[in-house]
Amino acid sequence: MSPGGQGGTIVWFRHDLRLRDNPALSAALSRGGPVVPVYVLDQAGEGEGAPGGASRWWLHHSLERLDESLREHGSRLVLAQGEGGPALRALLAAVGADAVYWNRRYEPAAIARDRALKAELAAAGIEARSFNASLLFEPHTVRNKAGGPFQVFTPYWRHCQTLAVEEPGRLPAGPYPAPRRWPQGPALADLGLRPRIRWDAGLGEAWSPGEAAALRRLKQFTARSIEAYAERRNLPECDGTSALSPHLHFGEVGPRQVWAAVKALSRETGVFPSSRGGQVFLSEIGWREFAYHLLFHFPTTPAEPLRREFAAFPWRRDPAQLRAWQRGLTGYPIVDAGMRQLWRTGWMHNRVRMIVASFLVKHLRISWREGAAWFWDTLVDADLAANTLGWQWSAGCGADAAPYFRIFNPVLQGMKFDPEGAYVRRWVPELARVPAEWVHRPWEAGPLDLAAAGVRLGGNYPPPVVQHGEARAAALAALQTIRVNRP
């Protein structure tokens, strides 16, 4: 037994792969006795939240970085595989620990699992405590005037801004007390998180997972880009966004740390946020909070539309067109550029995410569930709450959603947000020499212009899989088959 009669504490890491501002870790260290950091790969227990291919790649490298950080503090990360409850019970017995601490998650399967596990551990005399590391405002603490959940972002965020935000926790000083003997577990490579067929080269070129990289990115963004964020965030060729989404999803940095970094910019002016860019950026953090608010209060939404009338929407099944969308071969350059960026880097610019999602659900009339599934497997920042909110927003069937009858014209969207075609040329190299006038609508260019640019429609680049006008009319006709204004 450790000093104070305690057998030690297991810290169960999940979506909180950092040392700073980690309440479960800090509480375990304050409790006294050995601390055993553990990660359990429990895909069956994740339900809809089991990581897709790109997320598994990120998870591998993030766990590697976390273990390195722990070793710098005299500790290490113990890995386990299988169902979470039995794995934790085996580790408790192996090290003689009498407590398990973790930071809360808010996916429906995780909530059910954690509730059952906490009761089971308590019945066995094991102290089980959970903490908030992932959100500024936990979903159960935010209610509208009627006492229910919010379903519109603006009043939700206005209310949240009246609430206090906790200061982030500091890096706990080491060394961290270790058990007398470390339990055995699989090596990281044995978890099989990296792909067997090496399609991940582009991910490695684009990203550096881990807490240190997340903090560097946050510092760079707040120092160089946040002031112009409101103007540049919609331009996909610019480095105008924070690119923090995968770091936030895996908990390599927490929202309290982000909030504090933006607040620190206000010290000289005394105004918070200190700029329009800071205000808009924090509202995007607010959308992340709103996504978890909705998932918590409406747990069926990963599979079912929040607006029930959309359960009867006549979605089409067209494997060939779905495949063309997935591969970036729709014939609409801004759509194809986004889908190819996604496949290469595991990420897509947010403005382009809206364009490609709108194209799938409105031009092709393929269900938002198909899009959500593809994003889940290919995004390094695949997050059940954000993925569900984004796709239901695009399909018009969720909370505060864009109406289904508002249909993006992909040509006009490309011309507005990528006016010179730099983004398209980067990701669709077949169109690299097409003049800016035609780069978003190459099918309207003359044969001499196409020949000079080396483009053969139907050859090295496809014609549009659908015509915008016809697709728009068909989408609006489909909308008329359901009751969209249910009282």
Assign residue 467 the CATH number of its domain: 1.10.579.10
The total number of structural domains in the chain stands at 3
Determine, yes or no, domain membership for 172: no
From the candidates 48, 120, 138, 287, give the one annotated as an active-site residue. 287
**pLDDT over 90 for what percent of the chain?**
89
Read off φ and ψ for residue 188, nearest 5 degrees: -55, -40
**157 and 71 both lie in a single domain:** no
Query: Residues 293, 337: one domain?
Result: no
Region 117-137: mean pLDDT is 97
Does any domain span residue 177?
no
In a domain, 360, yes or no: yes
| Among 24, 292, 307, residue whose Cα is nearest residue 137 | 292
- Calculate mean pLDDT across residues 75-95: 94
Residue 456 has pLDDT above 70, yes or no: yes
- Could you tell me which residue, 275 or 487, shows the higher pLDDT? 275
Looking at the fold, whether 81 and 228 belong to one and the same domain comes out as no
What's the pLDDT at 401?
Answer: 76
Residues 158 and 246 in one domain: yes
Q: Is residue 186 part of a domain?
A: no
Catalytic residue list contains 368: yes
Range of the domain at 61: 3-133
Q: Chain-wide mean pLDDT for the chain?
A: 94
Are both 253 and 324 inside the same structural domain? no
Please indicate, yes or no, if residue 192 is contained in any of the structural domains. Answer: no
Please determine, for residue 139, whether its predicted confidence score (pLDDT) is greater than 50. yes
Q: What is the 3-state secondary structure (H, E, C) of the chain?
A: CCHHHCCCEEEEECCCCCCCCCHHHHHHHHHCCCEEEEEEECHHHHHHHCCCHHHHHHHHHHHHHHHHHHHHCCCCCEEEECCHHHHHHHHHHHHCCCEEEEECCCCHHHHHHHHHHHHHHHHCCCEEEEECCCCCCCHHHCCCCCCCCCCCHHHHHHHHCCCCCCCCCCCCCCCCCCCCCCCCCCCHHHHCCCCCCCCCHHHHHHCCCCHHHHHHHHHHHHHHHHHHHHHHCCCCCCCCCCCCHHHHHCCCCCHHHHHHHHHHCCCCCCCCCCCHHHHHHHHHHHHHHHHHHHHHHCCCCCCCCCCHHHHHCCCECCHHHHHHHHHCCCCCHHHHHHHHHHHHHCCCCHHHHHHHHHHHHHHCCECHHHHHHHHHHHCCCCCHHHHHHHHHHHHCCCCCCCCCCCCCCHHHHHHHHCCCCHHHHHHCHHHCCCCCCCCCCHHHCCHHHHHHHCCCECCCECCCCCCHHHHHHHHHHHHCCCCCCCC
Q: What is the mean pLDDT of residues 284-311?
A: 97
Annotated active-site residue 287? The verdict is yes
Task: Select which of 182, 315, 409, 443 is catalytic.
Answer: 315
Question: Is the confidence at residue 486, as pLDDT, over 70?
Answer: no
pLDDT at 487 over 60: no
What pLDDT is recorded for position 5? Answer: 42
The answer to whether 40 and 12 are in contact (CB under 8 A) is: yes
Indicate the pTM of the whole model.
0.95
What are the angstrom distances between the C-alpha of 135 and each of 141, 142, 161, 257, 286? Answer: 11, 12, 14, 11, 10
pLDDT greater than 80 at residue 323: yes
Look up the CATH number of the domain holding residue 262: 1.25.40.80
57, 368, 427, 438: the active-site residue: 368
- Indicate which residue of 12, 58, 376, 391 is catalytic: 391
315 is an active site residue: yes
Same domain, 276 and 241: yes
Dist CA 263 CA 249 (whole Å): 21
Q: Is residue 290 part of a domain?
A: yes
Question: What is residue 4's predicted lDDT score, i.e. its pLDDT?
Answer: 39
Strands 9-13 vs 99-103: parallel, antiparallel or unpaired: parallel
Whether 284 sits among the annotated catalytic residues: the reply is yes
CB of 287 closer than 8 Å to CB of 374: no
Given pLDDT bands bounded at 50, 70 and 90, which one contains residue 2? very low
- Region 250-274 average pLDDT: 89
Kindly state the average pLDDT of the residues 322-344. 98
In a domain, 65, yes or no: yes
Query: Can you give the pLDDT at residue 402?
Result: 79
> What percentage of the chain reaches a pLDDT higher than 70?
96
**Do 327 and 474 lie in a common domain?**
yes
Q: Are residues 339 and 364 in the same domain?
A: yes
* Residue 8 backbone phi and psi in degrees, to 5: 110, 170
Last-in-domain residue among 297, 317, 334:
297
Domain co-membership, 369 together with 473: yes
* 263: number of Cβ within 10 Å: 16
List pLDDT tens digits, range 268-287: 677 678 789 999 999 999 99
> Above 90 in pLDDT, residue 43?
no
| Cis amide linkage into residue 175, ω under 30° from 0 | yes
Block residue for tokens 């229910």:
148
**290 & 431 share domain:** no
Based on the domain organization, do 262 and 325 belong to the same domain?
no
Q: Are residues 22 and 162 in the same domain?
A: no
CATH number, residue 71: 3.40.50.620
pLDDT (0 to 100) of residue 485: 47
- End-of-domain residue from the set 277, 297, 317: 297
Catalytic annotation on 409? Answer: no
In a domain, 405, yes or no: yes
**Residue 3 reports pLDDT greater than 90:** no
* Residue of 48, 83, 227, 284 marked catalytic: 284
Average pLDDT estimate for 399-408: 88
pLDDT category of residue 45 using cuts at 50, 70 and 90: low
Provide the pLDDT for residue 47.
65
**pLDDT class of 324 with cuts at 50, 70, 90:** very high
| Last residue in a domain, options 274, 297, 320 | 297
The predicted pLDDT at position 195 comes to 86
